[in-house]
Amino acid sequence: MFDTETEENAVHGAPGGESPLHVPVLVDSVVELLRSLTPGLLSSWIVDGTVGLGGHAERVLDALPTARLLGTDRDPAALEHARRRLARFGDRARLVRARHSELARIVREDLGERPAAFLFDLGVSSMQLDEAERGFSFQSDGPLDMRMDPGLDRTAAEIVNSWDERDLADLFYYEGGETRSRAAARAIVESRRRAPFLRTGALADCIARAFGGHTGKIHPATLVFQALRRAVNQEGEELAAALATAERELADGGRLLVITFHSGEDAVVKRHLAALARAGRFELLTKKPIEADQAERRANPRSRSAKLRAAVRTRAGDQGDAPIETPLSREGRP
């Protein structure tokens, strides 16, 4: 089941002070895991599949002076930030707009060699959450959108206004871990008979009312919003594609690093890496996930729910090897 501490409270950056855009999560551990690549791989490509605002990418390029980095992201606005931030690295940083499900093709066409590492820092960026107009947050009112890639057809409003009650309840339960999913779905269906949902604020208020008001520390709509975001952006399928691409495309001795922000997603990564290790294709570098220490948690409360898992590829999967299936989060749930 998902933790109640979700990405809404666990985004990437420090509250107040310097711009939150400058503080990537668990970055020292990411750099250490990459620094111990074999010398041959240290001058090869590192693929940052969630380059976002370029925080991890910048630290990696500074720390590993011979490495080159291919940064991809589905969000063109994030890529623009990354482009400015990484401009000083010249040819060592290459940026491409792509989803995880397009990454295998980009890697094959653009790099011409197997990469030394894949890094995935999953979820939304602080910039996506902070801009009310993107419609991810119940904290500030905005259009009910939630698309990381504005080219996607389906917004959160379309799901909320058109799915039937049972499908909405299933979505909130399986993708958000919301145990009051039926009450939420019922309240939405009743309310939308009067007027469709167009704004995040109206949806957040409706869920809060259905759950008897806003009492605890966490906003009552947190898990419903998480579920909608996951559906709009097909995050389960995209994670499966990310893991499959890393498995297939990494160089021998190359490393896969994944940072997750809620327990459902961490469980998917954990099971996938364990299956790769059992098949003899990867060795785990983290038996237990790496988490932020007290200092990082204090400096950046948003790092509290981050978990970093890593594995090294020990043997190339040959043509006869069946890919390891990544269960989508719905499977194996109660």
Residues that bind ligand SAM (CB under 6 A): 12, 24, 50, 52-56, 73-75, 78, 99-100, 121, 123-125, 148, 238
CB of 174 to ligand SAM, least distance (A): 19
- Give the CA dihedral 189, 208, 14, 264, nearest 10 degrees: -60
The nearer residue to ligand SAM, 100 or 270, going by C-beta atoms, is: 100
CB of 87 to ligand SAM, least distance (A): 15
Q: How far, CA to CA in Å, does 215 sit from each of 10, 127, 136, 174?
A: 20, 27, 21, 24
CB of 27 to ligand SAM, least distance (A): 7
H-helix or E-strand containing 84? Answer: helix 76-86
The nearer residue to ligand SAM, 127 or 187, going by C-beta atoms, is: 127
Contact 158, 195 (CB under 8 A): no
DSSP 329: T
Indicate the residue type of 115.
P
The nearer residue to ligand SAM, 95 or 185, going by C-beta atoms, is: 95
Sheet-wide strand order for 307-313:
93-97, 68-73, 45-48, 117-121, 255-260, 307-313, 282-284
The nearer residue to ligand SAM, 97 or 186, going by C-beta atoms, is: 97
φ/ψ (deg, to 5) at 112 = 70, 5
Sequence-ordered list of residues with C-beta below 8 angstroms from that of 19, at least 6 positions apart, any chain: 13
CB of 125 to ligand SAM, least distance (A): 4
Indicate the residue type of 151.
G
Strand pairing class (255-260; 307-313): antiparallel
The nearer residue to ligand SAM, 187 or 269, going by C-beta atoms, is: 269
CB of 30 to ligand SAM, least distance (A): 9
Token pair 């939405």 is found at: 188
Rounded Cα gap, residues 219 and 8, in angstroms: 10
The nearer residue to ligand SAM, 86 or 206, going by C-beta atoms, is: 86
CB of 73 to ligand SAM, least distance (A): 4
Angle among Cα 239, 126, 69 to the nearest 5 degrees reads 60
The nearer residue to ligand SAM, 53 or 185, going by C-beta atoms, is: 53
CB of 301 to ligand SAM, least distance (A): 16
